[in-house]
């Protein structure tokens, strides 16, 4: 029987990578909230970061997610060798797939719901 990862562990794995992946649109909001930029500059910065560099941010987030999964497997699950990984292949696939699903859903909710709503409230995006 395959073991599943706990929801709490999955959220821990994916939270920082989701945050890093969403910095393309979150950075302008943070700058406005801290009073370091105007709304028009933040809107321009958001267009540039999201338009030209969004795949870089997403790629860095996925790389961080992969690193978090490796660290989790080594520290929490004790999977350090290839032989152990072969034996526990189904468990590893469950962990990877659940973390990836949480990453994608978390990214969509964080970026397209929460950050977009805050941007509308602050009048950064029209």
List pLDDT tens digits, range 18-65: 989 888 878 887 888 888 888 888 888 888 888 888 899 999 999 999
* Cα separation, 100 vs 69, whole angstroms: 10
- Going from the C-alpha of 63 to that of each of 14, 119, 123, the distances in angstroms are 11, 27, 32
In 3D space, the residue among 49, 29, 48 whose CA is nearest the CA of residue 39 turns out to be 29
pLDDT at residue 89 greater than cutoff 50: yes
* Cα separation, 84 vs 39, whole angstroms: 53
pTM equals: 0.79
Q: Radius of gyration (Cα) for the chain, nearest Å?
A: 18
How confident is the model at residue 59, as a pLDDT? 93
Confidence category of residue 1, pLDDT binned at 50, 70, 90: very low
Q: Decide if 125 contacts 119 (C-beta within 8 A).
A: yes
């Amino acid at each position: 029987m395959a073991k599943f990862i706990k929801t709490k562990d999955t959220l821990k794995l994916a939270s920082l990578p989701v945050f890093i992946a969403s910095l393309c649109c979150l950075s302008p909001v943070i700058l406005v909230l801290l009073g370091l930029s105007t709304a028009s500059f933040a809107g321009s910065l958001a267009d540039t970061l999201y338009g030209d560099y969004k795949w870089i941010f997403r790629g860095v987030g996925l790389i961080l997610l992969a690193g978090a999964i490796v660290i989790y497997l080594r520290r929490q699950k004790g999977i350090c060798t290839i032989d152990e990984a072969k034996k526990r292949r189904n468990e590893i696939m469950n962990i990877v797939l659940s973390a990836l699903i949480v990453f994608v859903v978390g990214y969509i909710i964080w970026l397209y719901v929460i950050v977009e709503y805050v941007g509308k409230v602050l009048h950064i995006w029209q």
